[in-house]
C-alpha cells in the first residue's frame, strides 16, 4: 500500500523510481588519479656497491633502479593524504560519501588509517571511512567496492586510496624491492579516465608465500613460492574472467600488472599470454609492457598502490589510448588475485597528472647507504611518551610525533 508523503504523493512512486535508477546501466570508473611517494630515494647501484655485487643484478635482473623511502615524519597516512589532496582541489569533496583506504602497513589495529586522512583533508562528516587489507590486492577490492556503491547511486563519488611502505630486513632477498608510494582515485559515474567493465575474474588460495605477523616490522617472503603463487593466482583469475564474459587477450591494448619488481610483471605477462593462447617471448613481453613500468622501476614496491602506479605510468606514457581496452591484473600474497578490464575514455589526457607524478619522483632527496641504514633501523616508539619528530618532508602533510600511544598529524607549514 502506498503511504502519502508530505507533498501528497505516494512513496511507492518514489521507491519505484529509486529502484529503476539503481538497476539501470551506469558507466562507472576512475574519474581522476593522483600519486605521491616518499621523501628519500636510494639508488640500487648504491645498495649493490655496499653488498659487493654487480648492479646489473638489480637494474636488469629485477628491473629496478631505485627505491623510495619515507622521511622520519612520513607514513602511509601522510602519503595517502598527499596523493588525495590534488583530487579534492580539482573536484571538491561535496559528493564524496565514502573513503576506502587500502593498505597492508596500517598504523592502528582498530582505527582505520582512512579516518586520519579524512581529518587531514577536511572531508565531510557525512562520509563513511573504512580500511581494507589483503596484502597487495586490497586496492582492487576497494576500487570494486567503490564501483558498486556508485552504480547504486550515481550521484555519489568514492575516494579510493592505496598507500603502503614496503620494508624488508636488511640483507634479505626482498631488500632491493622496497619502496613507498600512494595512489588516490576518484570513482564516479561517467568517468573521465577509465570506464570499468562490468565483469571480472577472481581467485583465492591459502598459501604462505608472504606475510608479516603483528610482532614484526618487516615482512617475510618465500621468494620462489611467491613467484609461483602469483602466476597460479593470475592465471586462475584470468580463466574466471573469461568464463564471466571477459575480453579476449588480443582485444586488450596492454595489461597493467602488480609489480613487486618490474621483471615480475614481464614474467606474469609471458605466463598469461601462454595460457591465453597468444605466446610471446620475454623481450616482446617487456616491450608490450614498457609504458606500465616507468614509475615502479624508480620507486620500488608500493604494495597496494603498485598496480595503480602501473596504470598511471601507462596513461602518462602511451601515445594514445582513447577508446582502447586495458587489462588490470591484481595480486596479493596469501593469496587473492583479480583480473578485470576497462576502456580508456576520450579526452583522458586532459585529466592527466604526468607532470606532477614526475615532479614528485624527481624531487626526492637521494641518500647514501649510511643514511638509508639509519632510517631503516628507526622503530616506532612503544612507551606511549611524548616524541616530537623532526620536520623533514616537504609534502603537504606530516606525522608530527607521538603522544599517549597516539599518532599526531598536521598540515605541513
Q: Which of 191, 330, 317, 165 is nearest to 257 (CA)?
A: 330
Question: What are the tens digits of pLDDT across the range 41-54?
Answer: 999 999 999 999 99
CA-nearest of 210, 145, 201 to 337 is 201
Rounded (5°) CA angle 329-264-183: 55
Mean pLDDT of 298-303: 98
Q: Are strands 397-403 and 406-411 parallel, antiparallel or unpaired?
A: antiparallel
Domain ranges in the chain are: 28-344+352-367+378-411
**CA-to-CA distance for 372 and 246, rounded, in angstroms?**
45
pTM over the 0.85 mark: yes
Check pLDDT > 50 for residue 20. Answer: no
Position 24 pLDDT exceeds 60? no
Convert the pLDDT of each residue in 149-187 to its tens digit.
999 999 999 999 999 999 999 999 999 999 999 999 999
Query: Do the annotations mark residue 173 as ligand-binding?
Result: yes
Burial class (CB in 10 A: 0-12, 13-18, 19+), 113: buried
Buried b (16+ CB within 10 A) or exposed e, 344-366: bbeebeebbbeeebeebbeebee
What's the rounded Cα separation, in Å, for the pair 74 and 179? 13
Whether the Cβ atoms of residue 142 and residue 185 lie closer than 8 Å to each other: no
To the nearest whole percent, how much of the chain has pLDDT over 70? 94
Which DSSP state fits 398? E
Alpha-carbon distance of 256 to 99, in angstroms, equals 24
Query: What percent of the chain clears pLDDT 90, i.e. is strictly above it?
Result: 92
DSSP letter, residue 136:
B
Yes or no: is domain 28-344+352-367+378-411 CATH 3.20.20.70? no
DSSP string, 175-194: GGG-EEEEEEEEEEES-SSE
Per-residue model confidence (pLDDT) at position 413: 77
- pLDDT, residue 246, reads 98
Mean per-residue pLDDT of the chain: 93
pLDDT in tens, 105-150: 999 999 999 999 999 999 999 999 999 999 999 999 999 999 999 9
Inform me whether the pLDDT recorded for 308 exceeds 60.
yes
Active site residue 256: no
The residue-averaged pLDDT of 247-267 equals: 98
DSSP string, 256-307: EE--SSHHHHHHHHHHHHHHTT----HHHHHHHHHHHHHHHHHH---GGGHH
Q: Is the pLDDT of residue 348 over 80?
A: yes
Provide the 3-class DSSP secondary structure of residue 353: coil
Identify the helix (H) or strand (E) that includes residue 325. strand 325-332
Residue written as cell 619528530? 389
Among candidate residues 74, 104, 195, 338, the one labeled active-site is: 104
**Please, are residues 352 and 315 in contact by the beta-carbon 8 Å criterion?**
yes
Residues 5-25, mean pLDDT to the nearest whole number: 41
What residues contact residue 145 under an 8 Å CB cut-off, 6+ apart? Answer: 100, 132, 158
At residue 11, does pLDDT exceed 60?
Answer: no
The pLDDT assigned to 3 comes to: 35
Annotation says 51 is catalytic: no
* 5, pLDDT greater than 80: no
Determine whether 39 is an active site residue.
no
Bridging pattern class, strands 96-102 and 128-132: parallel
DSSP state of 8: S
d(CA 117, CA 101): 9
Please tell me whether 54 is known to bind a ligand: yes
Q: Is 94 exposed, middle or buried (0-12, 13-18, 19+ CB in 10 A)?
A: exposed
Residue 25: the pLDDT is: 81
The catalytic residue among 31, 39, 118, 258 is 258
CA-nearest of 322, 268, 317 to 291 is 317
Amino acid at each position: 500500500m502506498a503511504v502519502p508523503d508530505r507533498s501528497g504523493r505516494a512513496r511507492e512512486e518514489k521507491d519505484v523510481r529509486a529502484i529503476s535508477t539503481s538497476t539501470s546501466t551506469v558507466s562507472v570508473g576512475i574519474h581522476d588519479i593522483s600519486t605521491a611517494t616518499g621523501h628519500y630515494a636510494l639508488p640500487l647501484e648504491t645498495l649493490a656497491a655496499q653488498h659487493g655485487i654487480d648492479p646489473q643484478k638489480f637494474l636488469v635482473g629485477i628491473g629496478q633502479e631505485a627505491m623510495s623511502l619515507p622521511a622520519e615524519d612520513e607514513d602511509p597516512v601522510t602519503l595517502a593524504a598527499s596523493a588525495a589532496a590534488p583530487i579534492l582541489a580539482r573536484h571538491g569533496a561535496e559528493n564524496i560519501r565514502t573513503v576506502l583506504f587500502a593498505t597492508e602497513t596500517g598504523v592502528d589495529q582498530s582505527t582505520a588509517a582512512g579516518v586520519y586522512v579524512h581529518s587531514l583533508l577536511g572531508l565531510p562528516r557525512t562520509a563513511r571511512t573504512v580500511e581494507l587489507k589483503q596484502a597487495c590486492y586490497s586496492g582492487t577490492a576497494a576500487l570494486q567496492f567503490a564501483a558498486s556503491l556508485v552504480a547504486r547511486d550515481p550521484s555519489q563519488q568514492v575516494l579510493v586510496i592505496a598507500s603502503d611502505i614496503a620494508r624488508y630486513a636488511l640483507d634479505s632477498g626482498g631488500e632491493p624491492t622496497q619502496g613507498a608510494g600512494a595512489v588516490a582515485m576518484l570513482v564516479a559515474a561517467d568517468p573521465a579516465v577509465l570506464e570499468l567493465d562490468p565483469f571480472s575474474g577472481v581467485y583465492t588460495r591459502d598459501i604462505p608465500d608472504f606475510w608479516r605477523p603483528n610482532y614484526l616490522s618487516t615482512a617475510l617472503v618465500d621468494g620462489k613460492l611467491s613467484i609461483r603463487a602469483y602466476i597460479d593466482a593470475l592465471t586462475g583469475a584470468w580463466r574466471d574472467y573469461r568464463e564471466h564474459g571477459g575480453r579476449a587477450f588480443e582485444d586488450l591494448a596492454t595489461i597493467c600488472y602488480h609489480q613487486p619488481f618490474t621483471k615480475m610483471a614481464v614474467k606474469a605477462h609471458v605466463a598469461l599470454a601462454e595460457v591465453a593462447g597468444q605466446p610471446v617471448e620475454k623481450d616482446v613481453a617487456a616491450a608490450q609492457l614498457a609504458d606500465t613500468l616507468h614509475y615502479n622501476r624508480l620507486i620500488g614496491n608500493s604494495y597496494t598502490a603498485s598496480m595503480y602506479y602501473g596504470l598511471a605510468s601507462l596513461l602518462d606514457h602511451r601515445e594514445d589510448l582513447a577508446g582502447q581496452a586495458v587489462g588490470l591484473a591484481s595480486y596479493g600474497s596469501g593469496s587473492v588475485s583479480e583480473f578485470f578490464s576497462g576502456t580508456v575514455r576520450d579526452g583522458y589526457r586532459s585529466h592527466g597528472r604526468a607532470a606532477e607524478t614526475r615532479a614528485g619522483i624527481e624531487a626526492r632527496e637521494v641518500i647514501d647507504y649510511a643514511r638509508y641504514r639509519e632510517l631503516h633501523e628507526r622503530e616506532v616508539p612503544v612507551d606511549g611518551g611524548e616524541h616530537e619528530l623532526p620536520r623533514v618532508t616537504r609534502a603537504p602533510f606530516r606525522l608530527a610525533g607521538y603522544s599517549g600511544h597516539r599518532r599526531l598529524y598536521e598540515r605541513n607549514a
